[in-house]
Structure formats: C-alpha cells, structure tokens
Structure 1
C-alpha cells in the first residue's frame, strides 16, 4: 500500500507512474489527497478539543478543592458539551480513516524507473537468453502424453478425486517431485536462506498484508466456516512472520525459504497452453523471501534473479529472463523478472519463476519496519519462486526424453535414486 504522505507530496509522479500501468482510476489519487486533508483537519480539531477538555477537567478538580463549587459545576457543564463534540469528531475521524483506507487499497504499487512501458505480455523485455533449445527425436511427445506412457502422473485420477487441475503423482513421478523439492531447499539453505515450515491456511490479515486481499480474493480458495484462505504461495505466510515487527537494522537482510503446496482458483481456459502441468489449481513450490534495507533492494533483486537462474542452469534447461512491462506486473510489485524455460515438445516458453521487489508496498500493509539511528522506517520486501515445480517437471520430461525413456538431470540423481524413467 502506498504511503499517504508520499501520494500527497508527489501527486504528479504518482499519476505518471500509474499511467504507465494503465491504471483506470486516476481520480482516486485526488480523492485520497482530499480524504487525507479532511482526516488531518478532523484529527487537529479532535486533538485541540481533547486538550481543552483535559485542561478543563483538571481545573474543575482544583475549583472543587478550593470550595468554588458553582464555578466548578459551570465548567463541568461546558466540559460535558465538549465531550459530546469529541465523540462526534472521533466518529467522524473513524469514518474518514475507513474511507481513506478503502481508496488506498485500490491503488497498485508504482512501477520502478527501470520498468518498461507496455500493456500486455507481448511488451515484456527479454534481458537474457541462456543455452540452446533441446534437439528431440522425431516422435517426441508433450509431457501429458509422456506421463501417461510411463504411468508417472495421472490427471484423470486427480479429476476423479477432486477435479481438473489436481493431478496424482505416481511412482517415479512422485519421487521426482520430492527430489526437486529437496534439491531446491538444499540449494536455498546453502545460499544462506533459513528454512521455515509455515501454515498452509492464513487469515484475512495475512492475505491483506502481502496484497492478495482484497485484490485477488476471487483467485483464492476460502474456508468460509473459519474464514481462512488456502495459500496461493509461501510468500504469504513467510512474509507475514514479520507483520507488526520492528527489526534492528543489523538484523537485515532477513532471508527465508519454505516449501509449500500452493492453491489457486484462477479461472482456467482451454487448449494446449493450459493442458497437463501447464496450469494447475494445486502445485508445489519452493519460495525465497527477503526483507532488506531500502538502499539495497534492487541489488538484492538482481542477486535473487541470478540465484534462480543458477538452479535452471544446474538443471540444464534453456531459459530466458524477462523484465515485465508495467501493464503486465502484479498489483503489488514495483519490478519483476520472470524466468521462462523452453519446452521443445510444445515449442513454447513456460514461466517457472517470478522474482519481485515490492519496495515498501507490502511493508506498509504489514507495518514491517526496521530501526536504525532514528525512528523506525519501512523495510523493503522481495520474493521469488525457486522454483515452482509443475512446469519444471514438464520441461524436464519433454526436454530430456529419448526414444526409449526419459533421462534425469545429473544434479537430481542423488535425490531421485534413479537416472532415468522408462
């Protein structure tokens, strides 16, 4: 959430950056400035009248002690009238704050200066390309046919149990999943991230803190009886570990990693681009999260991007890095890199990771601050997928297939216990 004082003091810049995002409600900026002015005026009136009321209360006590009962009673009547006005101002202030909050949460984060203009994924900027596409044999298959051929993932069985988008992993398919999770966690902890095990359901405050609520509530599974939400990513519970926390500056950076299943209701479409593992409602992912000093967040963003790329390189996958344009970024992000691997069987790019810097946007919602020499300041938060499994599995199955089986990337063999699926 943007800070009100920043919007008030930088109106033109805010409008300019929101326009880069193609934001459709620029009038909200002036509404926020107006609501904030009304709120501040009400607060000033309330503070002044409360000070007068407190002083009058003390004076009543002094008059009573000095035997000046009539003067005390007259002043007490005036104080009672002030209390009624104070109650009215307090109610007015609460309503102003409610209206201001409602307007603020509708404003997305401002794109960083490095973010290119654009409206769709077609406008994203390719900043790096690694490796060459795998060369497959003439009878190469897409992963949804390979999983059936080798009986390692059953989509129909998952549909029977739950519904579309909930596959069942079997035998070597299940072991490959577990191997990837362990490999990703081992890489993260070796990189200095502290592993956490976190709840898979969160409350509204947690969903709000990282920006899933109210923006993405339609994409989240909601347990209505308990008013809890199944997490769409480990980012939500891991970042919320630090909600309402003031860190010491010397504790920065905070670096956490976690494996969780992820649940997303996002509306599906039809066709090969969402077939098989390409889009699921439940999938596994290892997430990395950092909380850093504002002066270091963009350097850290580059480091996190390089780290995710190093995993893709270890897996021997052909990939590219995109800097997302302003119109394609998530609501809460100031800058995002997407990593996409090449599917030689599908002849298309598959997104496997997003690494984002949120600057103070999440921290303001979370009230996540650090204390240096002066008063507490908002920290910067970042996170990244390292990595999401479904499309990594799809890419491994497709790009490592041979005529008589599927090879396992060398780096995974010690985790799987086997070097091929046949």
Structure 2
C-alpha cells in the first residue's frame, strides 16, 4: 500500500509514476477523499476546542445564579455535530483505505519505461537453444507416451487445469522439490518452512491479493479461508503486525501447492502444463533493510537461476518494464525457460522487490540503528515453479525415440534414474 503522507506531499510525482503503469487516474479519488477527511477532521477539532473552551462557562454562570439553558443547548449542539463529523470521517477513512489498497506500487526509478511486455529488455541468457535433428514433441505428447502425465484423467477428477502426474512423473516432481529445497537451504542460506496451505483474508490483503484479485482465488465457504496462490502469502505474513528483532535479511523458503482460478484466462495456454489451476512451487521470501533491498533482489534472482543452471537448462532473464510490472512489485525480473516444441519462452520465476508496499499493508517492521521501528522491505521469487520446469526438462532433453534424459543433478533424488522411458 502506498503511503498517504507521500501522496499528500508529492502528488504530481506519485501521479507521474502511476502514469508509467497506465493508472494515473486512480490517484484522483484518493486525493479527493483525503481532502474530505482532513476537512472533516479540522472542523471536528475546532468544535472540540470550542466546546472545551465554553464548557467551564456553565459552572461560572451557575455560581452567578444565571440561566445556563441556552449555553448548555449550544454545547449539546456542538457535541451532536462532532459525533456526526466523526462518523462521517470514519466512513471516508474506510473508503480511502479501500482506494489505497487498490493502487499498485510505484515503479523503482531503475525500471525501464514501457507500455507492455514487448518493452521488456532481455538482461541475460544462459545456454544455447538446443538444436534437434527431428521435430521436437510437445511435453503433453511426451508425457503421454512416457506414461507420466495424464491430463484427461486429471480433468475427470477436478476439471481442466488440474494435471495428473503418475509413476516417474510423480517421482520427478518430488525429486525437483527436494532438490530445490536442499539447494536453497544448504547453499543459499534460506530457512525451510512448512506453512499452512490455506490463509485468512488478512494474509491475502497483506501481500496484495485482496481486494484486487479476489476472483482469481479459491475460497472456502463459511469461514472464508483462501487456498494459497503461492507460498509468498503465508511466508510473508508470518511476521504480520510484528517487529523483526533479529538481524536482517531473513530468508525463508517453502514448498507448497498453489491454487489459482485465473479468472479471465480461459482459452490461454490451456493445453498441457503451461497454465494450470493447481501446481507445486518452491518459493523464496526475504525481509531486508530498505538500503539493501535492491542488492538482495539481485541475490534472490541468482538463487533462482542456480536451480536452472544446475539442471543444465536453457533460460533467459528479462526485466519487466513499468507497464508490465505486477501489482505489488517496485522492480521485477522474470526468468524464462525455452520450450522447443512451442518455440517460445515460458516464465518459470518472477523475482520481485516490493519495497515497503506489502510491509505497510501487513504492518511488518524492524528497528533501525536508533531503535526506532521502520517498515521492512519484502522480496520474493519462485525458486522455482514446477509445471513449466517439467515442460523444459521434457522438451529440452528429449530424444528422437521419445525418451528423456534426466538432468544429472536430479539423479540422486530419483534413485539413480538416468532416462525417462515408457517402462520407467
């Protein structure tokens, strides 16, 4: 959430940066409501001061034996007006908070300008696009031939977008999770967490999913608990409404399933594993000091890239321009894997610095050098998501006979298995 004090102090600068995201007009109702709120507060405070000044006169008039009814009526009228103003102010404040919650974060000054994803610059590339002497098969064809991916039965169980992994496919998924958790905890300094897979509305609001993305979420009836769209939500909210007393940065990692309705995404990438409603992911979350959060973002990105490097996969890194940034991100890198059969890049990780955007919503603070509580900066990134990772492993490592080579880094997690074949 943006700081209303900053909006009030630098309205044109905030508007300019929101304009780079195409939402400058969203600032207008915020400024209007804030002005109304301050006007109401000013009038209420003036009346309270006047009432305080005039009230002692009642006792003075009584001592003099004079009639106090007119003055008492006047003061009662002040009280009635004060209560009406305060009630009106509370309504304005609630509306203002909703408007603030709907505003996206301001892009960091280093983010390249651009209207959409076509303006995202490529930062780096690792590996060569693998050449094939044959026409590479798509992962859904490979998975079916190998007997490790059954999309039809998955749809029978839960509907489209809920894939079913079987045999070596399920083992591959489990191996990837174990491999990534071991890598991040033993080499990158993250603490592993096993969080709940459902959270309350406060958690979803704290990280920015609510209120804007409610339709994209799965929600239980009655108690309104939300199936998590990413482990970012429970990990970040571990410290909601707390002051971090230990040294920063704090680094957390977790495996969870993730659930997303993705309302409005029907018809887009619906075949195979490219866009699904349930998927597994290993998430990375950091809590950092404001002065080091940019550096921590680069380290976070490197941690996610290390997964792909150790698996020997071809990937690239792009930086998101202002018009393509996610709702809460101030700066973001996307890591994309090459999918040979589709001849396209597929996002497998987004690494973002939210600065104090989430911390203000969730009231997460740390103590500065003077011991004063300040808002922490939060960062997160996929380390990484499994569906498109499996897509790249299958498609980049396939052979003409339909077999798939298992990356060397995964073989210890798969009982020494070197190849995925129909009988594996």
TM-score (norm 2): 0.91
Deviation at 1:98, TM superposition (A): 1.8
Deviation at 1:80, TM superposition (A): 3.9
* Cα distance in structure 1, aligned partners of 2:244 and 2:138: 48
* Cα distance in structure 1, aligned partners of 2:26 and 2:267: 36
TM-score (norm 1): 0.91
Residue in 2 that maps onto 1:358: 354
Residue in 2 that maps onto 1:134: 130
Note if 1:202 corresponds to 2:199: yes
Q: After superposition, what is the alpha-carbon deviation per residue over 1:324-363, rounded to whole angstroms, capped at 9, x for unaligned?
A: 1111111111111000011123221111000001111111
- Stretch moving more, 80-89 or 125-134: 80-89
* Cα distance in structure 1, aligned partners of 2:408 and 2:66: 91
Residue in 2 that maps onto 1:220: 217
* Cα distance in structure 1, aligned partners of 2:331 and 2:8: 23
Note if 1:259 corresponds to 2:263: no
Residue in 2 that maps onto 1:146: 142
* Cα distance in structure 1, aligned partners of 2:16 and 2:111: 13
* Cα distance in structure 2, aligned partners of 1:324 and 1:281: 24
* Cα distance in structure 1, aligned partners of 2:44 and 2:265: 51
Could you tell me which of 238, 256, 263 is aligned with 1:241?
Answer: 238
Deviation at 1:51, TM superposition (A): 5.7
User: How many residue pairs end up in the alignment?
Assistant: 415
Note if 1:287 corresponds to 2:283: yes
Q: What is the DSSP-based 3-state SS (H/G/I as helix, E as strand, rest coil) of the residue aligned with 1:355?
A: strand
Q: Which runs of 5+ in 2 are unaligned?
A: none
Q: After superposition, what is the alpha-carbon deviation per residue over 1:224-269, rounded to whole angstroms, capped at 9, x for unaligned?
A: 3222221111111111112111223x53212111111111111344
Deviation at 1:141, TM superposition (A): 1.4
Note if 1:419 corresponds to 2:418: yes
Q: After superposition, what is the alpha-carbon deviation per residue over 1:259-302, rounded to whole angstroms, capped at 9, x for unaligned?
A: 1111111134447x442011111000011111111111111111
* Cα distance in structure 2, aligned partners of 1:300 and 1:79: 58
* Cα distance in structure 2, aligned partners of 1:53 and 1:120: 57
CA contact (8 A) 2:203 2:234 kept: yes
- Stretch moving more, 111-120 or 284-293: 111-120
CA RMSD of aligned residues (A): 2.5
Q: After superposition, what is the alpha-carbon deviation per residue over 1:20-50, rounded to whole angstroms, capped at 9, x for unaligned?
A: 1122xx3442432232233223234434544
Q: What is the DSSP-based 3-state SS (H/G/I as helix, E as strand, rest coil) of the residue aligned with 2:185?
A: helix
* Cα distance in structure 1, aligned partners of 2:31 and 2:257: 41
Residue in 1 that maps onto 2:380: 383
Q: Which runs of 5+ in 1 are unaligned?
A: none
- Stretch moving more, 355-364 or 82-91: 82-91
CA contact (8 A) 1:400 1:408 kept: yes
Q: What is the DSSP-based 3-state SS (H/G/I as helix, E as strand, rest coil) of the residue aligned with 1:127?
A: strand
Alpha-carbon spacing, 1:369–1:150, altered in 2? closer, same or farther (3 Å): same
* Cα distance in structure 2, aligned partners of 1:355 and 1:179: 23
